[in-house]
Amino acid sequence: MTEAPLLDAGIAWFLLVAFSVLWIALGVWWGKRGKGDADDYLLAGRNIGLALSTATLMASWVTGNTTLAAPEVGYTLGLWGMLGYALAGLGLFLFAPLAIRIKRLMPTARTSGDFVRLRFGRVCWAVFLLITMAYTLGFLITQGMGAGLLLQALSGFDYRLGMVCVIGVSTTYTLFGGMRGVVGTDFIQSLLIMALLVLVAVLGYSRISVEEVYVALEAEYPSRLNMLLPAGLLFAWNTGLFSMGEVFHNNIWWSRVFASRPSVVFRSFILGGLAWITVPIVTGAIALMALATNLEVPQVNMVFPLITAELLGSGGAVVVFIIIFASLTSTLDSLLAASADLIAEDVVAHWLRPGISDAQIRQAARLVVVGLGLLTMLLSWQYVTSMFQLLLFTGPLVASTIWPIAMGLYWPQANRQAATAAMVVGTITGLLAYVLVAPYCAALVSAAVSAAVMGLGSHWNPERFDWRLLAGR
């Protein structure tokens, strides 16, 4: 990356230190609230309201990818890129009804692993843990690498310095604040991201009108307006199914269900989904201004920072820095907290050391937060371009969990052998489709095959599951 940084190093350092101190101070402060038991540390006391619940869903789902990859696909694919990316909001919408069922069915549970273990047994649980660990690790590493690369491009920081700073800050406030610190900072981070994106879009489109952008695209880049663009059509549903797989299986979203008040669970996922779908469209629309103004974009994944700095000057670069720093930290903290819950509860308390006390679970979760933070730094130390491909490779893994999770929540006939087979066969066929057909089809093939295996397996050999088994933990 040889281009001059968009932001003066002094300003960048000031912003980095100021926001790092703010997040850590707030995390520590919020961490001191509550009763201090394991439920408080892992799930913020299980009573968060609608505003915080919605905002934490927004902040966790607006990742570094949403602020960089969504404008990138808007720039390269145009409208289908924006709308296709927005379909990732489907995961949040469709999880809303499942969330109510989870909340009522499992009032004392802590993780998605608790559900899979109690509903489908230990074999399926082991497969599920492998899938979710592989996915989470890939996700953590891409966010860590994204942090290093972005700070390097925006401010000229050394890649490793930026990466260590962002992961270090997220790890520190997650460690001290637990879920309460994560949810509290997510609230501020999501409002910052949303308000600043609106500011950039409004200021940007006041410099060059929507009509001017349309005319320029129609004349120079008609493919960006083409609703029959093959690459765009391929992209669309894969994103939706990937998002469903991610949200249905990952403990980030299950922990939000357990942490929220029962009365707000459904509304928070619907509101969070509605708010989120506007983000990729807005960032994509901002990227379209780069095409309309013929801005030179040497690296397509930097289109959002470049056009914002071009239109709004150094103030724009400051805004981009804040948006991206908030996106990365809010996703990293959620991933760290939710993965620590999962490992402490599922691996430690239910596998390695059954019968440990609540205080020991809390302590284990804290150790896992630190361990995961360090592991992410270590694995992100050397930037490898194929890491993003690794994340895409996880699409079939997570898409294979959609039907086992949803059917397992609603239908007593949902069979445990079918659930295990659905995850394994869906993953394998999805990966084969990735390699042999196209990356765009991978999540789709995985979801379709796993749905067929789950549906037919449960039809031929129905289980008579006793729902009361889920009341415990």
Partner 1 sequence: MQTEWCMTELQQALLIFAIGAVVTLTTVIMIARGHARWHGRDPYDDPSRAASHD
Partner 2 sequence: MPLLITSPTIATAIATALATAPAPETQWLLPANLFRLVVVGSVIGLTVATLVIVLIWLKEWRQGQVW
Chain residues that interact with partner 2, rule: CB under 8 A? 33-34, 44-45, 47-52, 54-55, 58, 69, 72-73, 76-77, 79, 81-83, 180, 187, 190-191, 194-195, 197-198, 201-202, 205, 210-211, 213-214, 218, 222-223, 225-231, 235, 271, 274-275, 277-279, 281-282, 285, 300-301, 385-386, 388-389, 392, 435, 437-440
The dihedrals phi and psi of 328, each to the nearest 5 degrees, come to: -70, -45
Region 309-348 residues binding partner 1, contact defined as CB under 8 A: none
Half-sphere exposure (Cβ direction) of 407: Cα atoms closer than 13 Å: 27
Which residue, among 382, 234, 216, 183, has the nearest Cα to 294 in the 3D structure?
216
Give me the least distance between CB of 228 and partner 2, in Å please. 5
The residue (of 55 and 361) whose beta carbon lies closer to partner 2 is 55
The interface region with partner 1, picked from 34-42, 141-149, 403-411, 420-428 by CB under 8 A, is 403-411
Type of residue at 307:
I
Whether 399 contacts 443, CB under 8 Å: yes
222 near partner 1, rule: CB under 8 A: no
The residue (of 35 and 464) whose beta carbon lies closer to partner 1 is 464
Cα–Cα distance between 106 and 179 in angstroms, integer?
19
Total of chain residues touching partner 1, rule CB under 8 A:
38
Q: Give which of partner 1, partner 2, none residue 406 binds (C-beta under 5 to 8 Å, depending on kind).
A: partner 1
Q: Give which of partner 2, partner 1, none residue 225 binds (C-beta under 5 to 8 Å, depending on kind).
A: partner 2
The residue (of 11 and 231) whose beta carbon lies closer to partner 1 is 231
Whether 276 contacts 123, CB under 8 Å: no
208 near partner 1, rule: CB under 8 A: no
Whether 164 contacts 147, CB under 8 Å: no
In sign, the C-alpha dihedral spanning 215, 216, 219, 221 is negative
Cα–Cα distance between 139 and 332 in angstroms, integer?
9
Which residue, among 270, 272, 284, 129, has the nearest Cα to 197 in the 3D structure?
284
Cα–Cα distance between 354 and 357 in angstroms, integer?
9
In the block, tokens 């760290």 appear at 336
225 near partner 1, rule: CB under 8 A: no
Give me the least distance between CB of 459 and partner 2, in Å please. 33
Q: If you compute the radius of gyration of the chain from its CA atoms, what whole number of angstroms results? A: 22
CB atoms within 10 A of CB 33: 15
- In this chain, which of 69, 286, 447, 453 binds partner 1, going by CB under 8 A? 447
Beta carbons within 8 Å of 152's beta carbon, 6+ residues apart: 1, 5, 158, 159, 162
The residue (of 187 and 403) whose beta carbon lies closer to partner 1 is 403
90 near partner 1, rule: CB under 8 A: yes
Region 238-297 residues binding partner 1, contact defined as CB under 8 A: 238, 240-241, 244
Give me the least distance between CB of 89 and partner 1, in Å please. 13
Triad 272, 274, 275: Cα angle to 5°: 65
- The contact set with partner 1 (CB under 8 A) reads 90, 94, 97-98, 100-101, 104-105, 228, 230-231, 233-234, 236-238, 240-241, 244, 402-403, 406-407, 409-413, 436, 440-441, 444, 447-448, 451, 467-468, 471
